[in-house]
């Protein structure tokens, strides 16, 4: 006979990040997110947001999944699950892609880096265990999938990020690898910092210039300490990360993206490479290619709101007395000083300049469809950084 306690479902306690004690020592307010205790803010969300736009913010994104896919035909195996042209991805290059189900629904959005013979994937923290299970089920037996559980992931973002990271005097890990100042947006390289290996990607989710740095967990505190000791770097929490990505028009999985969302409706068609549009061969290709050719009944759009009241996820978008969509992300923009939102609306109401209303707490908030990003991206693509 089973012990009655065994029959009671208990909620698992949240996990801790390698930098948990460090965050608390920095005065962070901790909240549960994606199954982890994470810092939502230190000084305050607006102050941290504006600091990142002007200087450099250090974010802990170690809850995200870091995976390595390797094997003789790893690129072809990934192309069976993603709509990107992974075979054409050159060593040291990074690509945004989508993990799709058989109907073309989005299981996750992710970054793929060709590390030269193997592919490094960064997936969302809330979906990483499902992603790992999906990949293990669908990748061929001869392809190896490793989860880098012993690594932390830090994001250094903002116009002063490159100067701050350069002051660490990173050394290329291998002869012939590019120097840090040679990296541009969506490029990556391995470095050594005082004998410690770092994987550095020139990418991020704030719309600013910056880097994501994979570091072994036992070295994360030392790296965080030396970075925040710099005058231009401050720790930044989840709150500002969310407001920054919203201003940048970047969708958040579980809010703006889900299995009920396809890449065409989500305005992510850039993730479907030209070769894959011609050849197909990825999950949901028939449906997605038909949507590309014929159009989609709804589209993800940006919305600028009047007044000070923000629209929140789940709010209904109205045109007159007709419900035409739903808000998926919303908040007050510290940079623009007015509320902004993203949502899905019927295609007939998706053109920039269209005036709509958002129902919020019994009020109708005037809103206008606007192009995204709300705040221009400042990725470093070529030439010298300022």
Average pLDDT for 134-152 = 98
CATH code for the domain of 357: 2.40.30.110
Whether 46 and 170 map to the same domain: the answer is yes
| 336 falls within a domain | yes
Q: Answer yes or no: is pLDDT of 69 > 80.
A: yes
Residue 106 falls inside a structural domain: no
Same domain assignment for residues 345 and 224: no
Please tell me the predicted confidence (pLDDT) of residue 384.
61
> Is 171:340 a contact under the CB 8 Å cutoff?
no
Final residue of a domain: which of 230, 247, 264?
Answer: 247
d(CA 317, CA 170): 49
Check whether residue 301 and residue 219 sit in a common domain.
Answer: no
Q: Is residue 307 part of a domain?
A: yes
- 172 in any annotated domain: yes
CA distance 138 to 156: 34
Q: Please indicate, yes or no, whether residues 160 and 234 belong to a single structural domain of this protein.
A: yes
Contact 116, 102 (CB under 8 A): no
The answer to the question of residue 71 being in a domain is no
161 contacts 183 by C-beta, under 8 angstroms = no
Mean confidence (pLDDT) of the chain:
95
Tokens standing for residue 349: 């109401």
CA distances, 224 to each of 252, 288, 312 (Å): 25, 42, 33
Two tokens at 145?
């999938």
Q: Does one domain contain both 55 and 161?
A: yes
pLDDT on residue 180:
95
Render pLDDT for 181-237 as a digit per residue (tens, 0 to 9).
999 999 999 999 999 999 999 999 999 999 999 999 999 999 999 999 999 999 999
Asked if residues 269 and 228 have their Cβ atoms less than 8 Å apart, the reply is: no
Give Dmax (Cα) for the chain: 71
10 Å CB burial of residue 247 (0-12, 13-18, 19+) is buried
Q: 12 falls in which pLDDT band (50, 70, 90)?
A: confident
**What span, in angstroms and rounded, lies between the C-alpha atoms of 131 and 106?**
11
Is there a single domain that holds both residue 41 and residue 180? yes
Residue 166 lies in a domain: yes
pLDDT at res. 79:
97
Q: Within this chain, do residues 154 and 57 fall inside the same structural domain, yes or no? A: yes
CA gap 183, 185 in Å, rounded: 7
Q: What is the pLDDT of residues 289-341, one digit of tens each?
A: 999 999 999 999 999 999 999 999 999 999 999 999 999 999 999 999 999 99
Q: Do residues 221 and 304 share a domain?
A: no
CATH code for the domain in which residue 231 is found? 3.30.1360.120
Same domain? For 156 and 50 the reply is yes
| Sequence-separated (6 or more) residues with CB below 8 Å from residue 168 | 193, 226
Q: How far apart are CA 351 and CA 346, in angstroms?
A: 10
Place of tokens 């109708």: 364
Residues 304, 227 share a domain: no
Residues pairing with 178 in the sheet: none
Range of the domain at 54: 12-61+150-247
301 contacts 351 by C-beta, under 8 angstroms? no
| Residue 198, in any domain of the structure | yes
Among residues 207, 223, 247, which one ends one of the domains?
A: 247
47 in the same domain as 184: yes
Cα 106–chain centre separation: 14
Does one domain contain both 315 and 227? no
Closest to 177 (Cα-Cα) out of 198, 152, 155: 198
Half-sphere exposure of 318 (CA within 13 A, CB side): 15
CA distance 18 to 7: 32
Number of folded domains that form the chain: 2
Is 168 within a domain? yes
């Amino acid at each position: 006979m089973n012990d009655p306690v065994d029959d009671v479902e208990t909620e698992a306690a949240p996990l801790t990040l390698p930098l948990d004690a460090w965050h608390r020592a920095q005065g962070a307010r901790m909240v549960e997110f994606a199954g982890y205790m994470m810092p939502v803010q230190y000084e305050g969300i607006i102050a941290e947001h504006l600091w990142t736009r002007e200087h450099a913010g250090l974010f802990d994104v170690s809850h995200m999944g870091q995976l390595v896919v390797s094997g003789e035909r790893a690129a072809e195996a990934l192309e069976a699950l993603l709509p990107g042209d992974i075979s054409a991805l050159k060593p040291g290059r990074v690509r945004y892609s989508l993990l799709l189900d058989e109907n073309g629904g989005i299981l996750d959005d992710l970054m793929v880096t060709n590390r030269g013979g193997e592919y490094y994937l960064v997936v969302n923290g809330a979906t990483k265990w499902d992603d790992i299970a999906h990949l293990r089920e669908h990748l061929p037996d001869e392809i190896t999938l490793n989860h880098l559980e012993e690594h932390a992931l830090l994001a250094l973002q903002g116009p002063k990020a490159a100067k701050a990271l350069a002051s660490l005097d990173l050394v290329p890990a291998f002869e012939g690898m590019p120097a840090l100042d040679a990296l541009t947006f969506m490029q990556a390289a391995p470095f050594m910092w005082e004998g410690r290996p770092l994987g550095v990607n020139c990418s991020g989710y704030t719309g600013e210039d910056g880097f994501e740095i994979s570091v072994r967990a036992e070295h994360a505190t030392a790296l965080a300490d030396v970075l925040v000791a710099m005058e231009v770097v401050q720790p930044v929490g989840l709150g500002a990360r969310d407001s920054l990505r919203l201003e940048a028009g970047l969708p958040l999985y579980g809010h703006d993206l889900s299995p009920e969302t396809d890449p065409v409706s989500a305005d992510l068609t850039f993730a479907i490479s030209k070769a894959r549009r011609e050849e197909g061969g990825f999950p949901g290709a028939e449906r997605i290619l038909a949507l590309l050719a014929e159009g989609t009944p709804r589209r993800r759009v940006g919305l600028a709101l009047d007044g000070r009241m923000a629209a929140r996820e789940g709010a209904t978008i109205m045109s007159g007395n007709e419900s035409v969509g739903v808000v998926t992300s919303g908040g007050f923009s510290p940079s623009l000083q007015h509320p902004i939102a993203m949502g899905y609306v019927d295609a007939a109401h998706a053109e920039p300049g269209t005036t709509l209303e958002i129902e919020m707490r019994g009020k109708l908030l005037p809103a206008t469809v606007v192009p995204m990003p709300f705040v221009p991206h400042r990725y470093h693509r070529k030439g010298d950084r300022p």
